[in-house]
Amino acid sequence: EPEVTQTPSHQVTQMGQEVILRCVPISNHLYFYWYRQILGQKVEFLVSFYNNEISEKSEIFDDQFSVERPDGSNFTLKIRSTKLEDSAMYFCASSEVWNSPLHFGNGTRLTVT
């Protein structure tokens, strides 16, 4: 069964550094998402992406965050200048159409020291 793949599985970075989290959504899916889960807490929506542009974003998704689909397969989340509170598990997801279930990747655990 097709799946969403995320790399790396774990990223450690120093405060103030830029990080790029990478995702390969399921190939025939049209909608892409980033969610995050701070350790032990609920999963929170960050951003949705459709037709090569951001369709919706949350309050968490401030100027430090950006997303890109640089080619036909990858979907990336960039954090420009990481803060300690950005430490979390970041999940990429995709859905086939607008109201179909989200399929999540295995997540990237980001640790900011």
Partner 1 sequence: AQKVTQAQTEISVVEKEDVTLDCVYETRDTTYYLFWYKQPPSGELVFLIRRNSFDEQNEISGRYSWNFQKSTSSFNFTITASQVVDSAVYFCALSEAMIKAAGNKLTFGGGTRVLVKP
**Residues found near partner 1 in the complex (CB under 8 A):** 31, 33, 35, 41-45, 48, 50-51, 55-56, 89, 91, 93, 95, 98-107, 109
Contact indicator for 110, 14 with CB cutoff of 8 Å: no
Q: Which is nearer to partner 1, 18 or 57 (CB)?
A: 57
Q: What CA–CA distance (Å, rounded) separates 34 from 48?
A: 7
Q: What CA–CA distance (Å, rounded) separates 84 from 112?
A: 5
Q: Which is nearer to partner 1, 14 or 39 (CB)?
A: 39
Tell me the three state secondary structure of residue 85: helix
Q: Which is nearer to partner 1, 42 or 72 (CB)?
A: 42
Contact indicator for 20, 35 with CB cutoff of 8 Å: no
Distance in Å, CB of 44 to partner 1, minimum: 7
Distance in Å, CB of 82 to partner 1, minimum: 20
